[in-house]
Structure 1
Amino acid sequence: MTKNPTENRTGRLAHLDVLISGAGVAGPTLALGLARYGARVTVVEKAPDLREGGFPVDFRGQVHRTVLTSMGIWDEIHARQTHMGPQTVVDADGTPRVELPAEMMSGDVEILRGDLARIMYERTSDRVEYVFGDSIATLGESPDGVDVTFERGAPRRFDLVVGADGLHSLTRRLVFGDESRHLRFLDHYVAAFSIPNHLGLDRVGRLYSEPGRAVAIGNYDGEPDRSGALLVFRSKRLEFDRRDMAAQKRILAERFAGMSWEAPRVLKALEGADDLYFDAIAQIHVDRLTQGRVALLGDAGYGATMGGMGTGVAIVAAYVLAGELALAGGDHRTAFAEYENRIRDFAKGCQKISGNAGPFFAPATERRIRGRDLMYRLLSSRPLAGFFRRLTEKAATGIELRDYPRP
């Protein structure tokens, strides 16, 4: 499916044709920024349509707010926020062990990833060409452009190509080398899918952990009949086909067999789930974010599966990349160098936080589970609540934004 944009060629980037691979959040965010500066932008996405669902994502601190406000979407995100309440760690019988306040887990504002993607798409669909159900096949750079072939569409030439196609980026593999060179496995796997709201939750969550595995259930959107399940388990590296949902369900059924609390009902719901997300908890580390006329954005360049404020980093990085291109008048050499210099340390700082995601959900021993609960009981207490908030905002605000040209 192709969305034909309204012609928009006024602005300081009117001479620039840019291809973005990936229509998640990072890609449409960059498309919005570039289109506002007058560039002609095409977004190619291998999925047949815009991807709905996904994890809730949150924003925190002044940097996130400044970027989202400048893009004109701060109020819209607030209008669609989850209004998520506390999340409670429970025993096997459901008895509360510690309550994690909303401001600790959900930042200043939280929104479902699919809702955020929809906002970005709606803001750009009249100015940006979206090509769904296709993907890049080859990239060939020449002195004056990048020749691109596609799996389905006709070959085309672009001035620049940006890989915003996620943790398992094809663009990164084509230009920067095989994924094995860049993906750092963090000893855990995560799965997420929809289940019936059998606990009757209303914008709150529950988390139960046993050594090396965890089940979390949350109602994020107030829908009375639907909840989301999150499964996390510690493991050595597994070999599996990311397109084989049946095989992934078998792995989860085996790993969570015999677990207490609501695990049996969650596994029963998993059997009929058609929206399963299953992947390693991992990080991406590349030597460079740009090469020639190709740049990496978001999870493709500095991703973390969960816990590293990846969406916030991607949106800030998209804002910076569009701004640097505008500031340089489309000179990609100057803009890409500045983008790399400004984003690298910021992204690494946020990545460091994500290393704690697996051990937080699924501590390796019962002793570590008790230690986690004690620590978060202290951090959520009134005397330390402000300290914890400042700690989580430190990484999110670890960049000084430049004054970019107004669109």
Structure 2
Amino acid sequence: MPPRSALVSGASIAGPVLAFWLAEAGWDVTVVERAERLRTSGYPVDVRGTAVDVIRRMGLQDALAAARYRHAPIALLTPGGRRLTTLDFGELLNDTTAGDVEISRGDLGRILYEAAADRVTYVFGDSITGIEQTDAGVNVTFAVRAPQSFDVVIGADGIHSNVRRLAFGAEQHFIRHLGPLAAIWDLPAGSFAPGDGFMYSHAGRTVVVERPTEHAPARAFLAFVHDDPGSVDTRDRATAAASIRTAFAEDRWRTADVIDTLTDAGDVYFDTVSQIRMDRWSADRVALVGDAAYAPAFLSGQGTSIAIAGAYVLASELVRHQHPRAAFEAYERRMRRYVEKNQDLALRTDSSVIARSRRELLRRNIRLSIVPLLQRLGLAATSRPPLREAATDLTLKADDLRRSRIPR
């Protein structure tokens, strides 16, 4: 009997985790990725809670620890530009004693890709153009390669998922804009000195600049609230620059100089801060995982972690059940509460990133100003109980998938 087959769209985080575990169970797995190559850049992301357990079961905890992102000390500034305190972002939200790891998105993607690259067919520079479901499988057409049939098709292709559009409908039915937009890009050499780190905020907008080491570029992160974020063409560089200039026009710090570098920057991320909310994540033999199904928005700090956990649970249920529909139903039952609890983190009004009013900004600055004292007293964990509770709300089963090979 031939092995069961899966087509996974997306080679970022959830896709490689899912591919790893299905290949481990003997499936024939193909991952198709629109980009021409594996993305090696990207901002830092967090792996915490249940996702740490998944990484341990993959045998990759040492690889992630070795690639841990190390922040520069971040000076928290007042709206007038005066330093309030200096923060260690590496310890601000994560509990290293529990195995939490902050790592650049590019490094994490590379580690996950390499873990199963010898057992998974990766196809770069291509995308799915059509999905036709039958009783026996899913017939798929591609932009480049020849049509092919699979037992299941999984969309792990991000918040703007192509698979979701083809199988479930237009994005506007599922996306929920939370108000802000965010931009991230690398700054020219010499813009900031090694070891520089700054967080400068007004009500409704924040800019963070950090250059951890001499060999790392300075990176800018800007987020700002917009009255109608869905109306902004986030794919257009000129629109991005104009929106950002307008939002930060009254800043008194070095924000204008930072924004001036946007036009000539290479890899720029600019998008709405949004969630994906869906009543169901599957339709017969097609399912979604990670941001494609339940993007929580970066304000939650949990997008990467629930993508890793979700991919593992999905793989476990696909292997456990013979029919995809039964597997997808079990996957949704196990994941729904965990996902919603983590999505709700982004709806809180006490965000450390963006304070919507002057009063909230004052409260946020006071809260962050006492963090160094809490860290010195060994009490830092008391400042993150809702995050820790949400991150650990999913318990893996003893009979979920396990590695059958010795980690390389």
Q: Deviations over 1:152-210 (max 9, x none)?
A: 221111100000010111111111221111111101100000013533243x6321011
**Equivalent residue number for residue 3 of structure 1:** none
2:217 paired residue number:
226
Question: What is the CA distance between 1:51 and its match in structure 2?
Answer: 1.7
Hey, what does 1:183 align to over in structure 2? 175
Cα distance in 1 for residues equivalent to 2:163 and 2:235:
19
Native 8 Å contact 1:188 1:358 kept in 2 = no
Q: Calculate the aligned-residue CA RMSD, in Å.
A: 2.1
1:360-386 deviation per Cα after TM superposition (whole angstroms, max 9, x unaligned): 433233332111111233455426523
Partner of 1:50: 38
Do the aligned partners of residues 16 and 33 (structure 1) sit closer, same or farther apart at CA in structure 2, a change above 3 Å counting? same
Structural mapping, 1:314-329, within 5 Å: 314-328=307-321
Could you tell me how far apart the structure 2 residues matched to 1:225 and 1:59 are? 22
Given candidates 104, 111, 115, the residue that maps to 2:92 is 104
Is 1:236 aligned to residue 227 of structure 2? yes
Deviations 1:72-109 (A, max 9, x none): 11100001111235433113564322443332234532
The answer to whether residue 38 in structure 2 is matched with residue 38 in structure 1 is: no
2:48 aligned partner? 60
How many residues are aligned here?
A: 391
Q: How far, CA to CA, are the matches of 1:358 and 1:50 in structure 2?
A: 35
Structure 1 letter corresponding to 2:47: F
Report SS of the residue matched to 1:271. coil
Conserved 8 A contact 1:167-1:304: no
Compared CA separation, residues 87 and 350, structure 1 to 2 (3 A): farther
Q: Which residue of 2 aligns with 1:71?
A: 58
Which of 181, 191, 194 is the equivalent residue of 1:198? 191
The worse-fitting range, judged by mean Cα deviation, of 289-298 and 358-367 is 358-367
Letter in 2 for 1:274: G
1:217 aligns with 2:205: no
Q: Which amino acid aligns with 2:65?
A: H
Q: 2:388 aligns with which of 384, 388, 393?
A: 393
CA distance in 2, matches of 1:314, 1:147: 26
Which aligned pairs between 1:1-400 and structure 2 lie closer than 5 A? 15-61=3-49, 63-84=50-71, 86-92=73-79, 94-101=81-88, 102-107=90-95, 108-196=100-188, 198-202=191-195, 205-220=197-212, 222-224=213-215, 226-238=217-229, 239-308=231-300, 309-328=302-321, 330-356=322-348, 360-378=352-370, 381-382=373-374, 384-400=379-395
CA 393–145 in structure 1, closer or farther in 2 if over 3 Å, else same: same
Q: 1:219 to 1:358 in 2, by over 3 A?
A: farther
Cα pair 2:6 2:151 within 8 Å, conserved = yes
Q: Is the 8 A contact 2:245 2:256 kept in 1?
A: no
Find the aligned partners of 2:216 and 2:381 in 1 and give their Cα distance.
Answer: 35
Give the secondary structure class of the aligned counterpart of 2:26: coil
- Is the Cα contact below 8 Å between 1:284 and 1:301 reproduced in 2? yes
1:250 alignment partner, SS class: helix
Question: For 1:198 and 1:91, how far apart are their aligned partners in 2?
Answer: 21
Gaps of 5+ in 1: 1-8
Q: 1:357 to 1:190 in 2, by over 3 A?
A: farther
Letter in 2 for 1:346: Y
SS in 1 for 2:191: coil
- Partner SS state of residue 180, structure 1: helix
Query: Are residues 172 and 70 of structure 1, via their aligned partners in 2, closer, same or farther at CA, if it must alter by over 3 Å?
Result: same
Q: Distance in 2 between matches of 1:312 and 1:117?
A: 13
Percent identical residues: 38
What is the CA–CA distance in structure 1 between the aligned matches of 2:138 and 2:157, rounded to whole Å?
18
**Any conservation in 2 of the 1:84–1:106 contact (CA below 8 Å)?**
no
Read off the aligned partner of 1:73 and give its amino acid letter.
L
User: Alpha-carbon deviation of 1:358?
Assistant: 9.4
Q: 1:389 to 1:362 in 2, by over 3 A?
A: closer
Residues 91 and 261, structure 1, Cα contact 8 Å, conserved in 2: no
